[in-house]
């Protein structure tokens, strides 16, 4: 006996009844009643064609496993073969396809919006920066224009900067291996705006990003120590930081340096370095000054130096040392 899956059976039941004959898995309501089949209620009654008066039966789908049992009735009766009825159904099919296409488009839009909202929520980006875009970045000086051009070129070519994972432990390096940015400059020069604009564009295109300040990034790790029964532990948070397609660490060097904090930052940066994962840094400090700012009271600067060394190798520097726009 030919086997028909449950899914195939339901699909057949949903299709318009074009046939006027009962088959192996298809039977008219009248024949099913006369044949003493087990039937789903209510049993649909035959109708007549409004054009020619012909009797039109409803058909049901016969269970392919259990004999003499109808699974479901088709939603429409069989279609009459008279010319007027055929013309009606031809027009109806066109409109139905248009309706289904519109429903599919609307559903895709809604799913895309929910996906966007989910990506934005998981990004860690504060509300103030969720509207930072390239089109509202002020390009009123040559330096700001150049910074805009460099970061816009970066985001437009981002997919070329992502590694390809070919299995559990094998990674193909990205086409562009120097795939990060290091935005350095004083307060109010637009560093965070451009970093957030990169994240917002990628998120709108469906690429996950994390965009957080250095302080918030470390606080998320600390929070896992307080929640004894939390489903999210330190390893989970570190895994997110290490594996997200783009990690943006804003205002690095502003936090009070501790042995614990600097070791966590190095672990994250080093894991992304080893996996060819792109990282963007914004900071108010130059290289040597940043090392000093990240060195804890013990004076051990090794993790700070190693962190900066990894960033120098993987990031393109963008100097944004100009007057703050906020003073105007």
Q: Options 3.30.1050.10, 3.40.30.10, 3.10.129.10, 3.40.50.300; which CATH number does 124-327 get? A: 3.40.50.300
pLDDT string in tens for the chain (328-residue length): 445 455 554 555 445 555 455 667 889 999 999 999 999 989 999 999 999 999 999 999 999 888 899 999 998 999 999 999 999 999 999 999 999 999 988 887 777 667 767 777 778 888 888 889 999 999 989 999 999 999 999 999 999 999 988 766 788 999 998 999 999 998 888 999 999 999 999 998 888 899 999 999 999 888 888 766 566 788 888 998 998 999 999 999 988 899 999 999 999 999 999 999 999 999 999 888 999 999 999 999 999 999 999 999 999 999 998 766 554 4
Q: How far apart are CA 166 and CA 152, in angstroms?
A: 29
pTM higher than 0.85, yes or no?
no
Sequential DSSP letters for 36-103: T-B-PSSPPPPEE-TTT--EE--EEEEPSSSTTBEEEE-SSPPPP-SHHHHHHHHHHHHHHHHHHHHH
Q: Which residues pair with 281 in a beta bridge?
A: 182, 249
Sign of CA dihedral 208, 124, 275, 183: positive
What's the chain's Rg over C-alpha atoms?
32
Domain ranges of the chain: 6-81, 124-327
How many helices (DSSP H) and strands (DSSP E) are in the chain?
A: 10, 12
């Amino acid at each position: 006996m030919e086997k028909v899956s449950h899914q195939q059976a339901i699909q057949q039941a949903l299709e318009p009844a074009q046939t006027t004959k009962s088959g192996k898995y298809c039977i008219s309501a009248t024949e099913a009643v006369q044949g003493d089949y087990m039937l789903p209620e209510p049993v649909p009654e035959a109708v007549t064609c409004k054009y020619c008066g012909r009797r039109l039966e409803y058909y049901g789908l016969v269970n392919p496993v259990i004999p003499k049992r109808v699974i479901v009735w088709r939603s429409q009766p069989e279609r009459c073969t008279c010319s007027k009825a055929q013309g009606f159904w031809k027009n109806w099919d066109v409109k139905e396809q248009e309706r289904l296409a519109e429903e599919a488009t609307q559903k895709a839009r809604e799913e895309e919006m929910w996906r966007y909202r989910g990506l934005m929520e998981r990004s860690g980006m504060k509300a103030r920066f969720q509207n930072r875009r390239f089109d509202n970045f002020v390009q009123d000086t040559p330096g700001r224009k150049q910074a805009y051009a460099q970061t816009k070129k970066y985001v437009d070519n981002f997919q070329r900067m992502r590694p390809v994972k070919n299995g559990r432990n094998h990674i193909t390096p990205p086409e562009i291996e120097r795939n990060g940015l290091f935005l350095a400059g004083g307060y109010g020069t637009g560093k965070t705006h451009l970093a957030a604009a990169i994240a917002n564009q990628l998120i709108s295109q469906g690429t996950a990003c994390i965009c957080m300040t250095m302080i918030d990034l470390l606080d998320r790790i600390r929070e896992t120590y307080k929640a004894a029964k939390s489903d999210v532990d330190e390893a989970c948070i570190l895994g997110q930081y290490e594996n997200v397609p783009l990690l943006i660490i804003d205002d690095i060097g502003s936090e009070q340096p501790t042995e614990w904090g600097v070791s966590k930052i190095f672990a994250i940066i080093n894991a992304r370095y080893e996996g060819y994962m792109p990282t963007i840094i914004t900071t108010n400090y130059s290289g040597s000054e940043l090392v000093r700012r990240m060195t804890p009271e013990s004076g051990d600067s090794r993790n700070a130096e190693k962190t900066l060394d990894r960033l120098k190798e993987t990031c393109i520097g963008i100097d944004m040392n100009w007057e703050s726009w906020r003073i105007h």
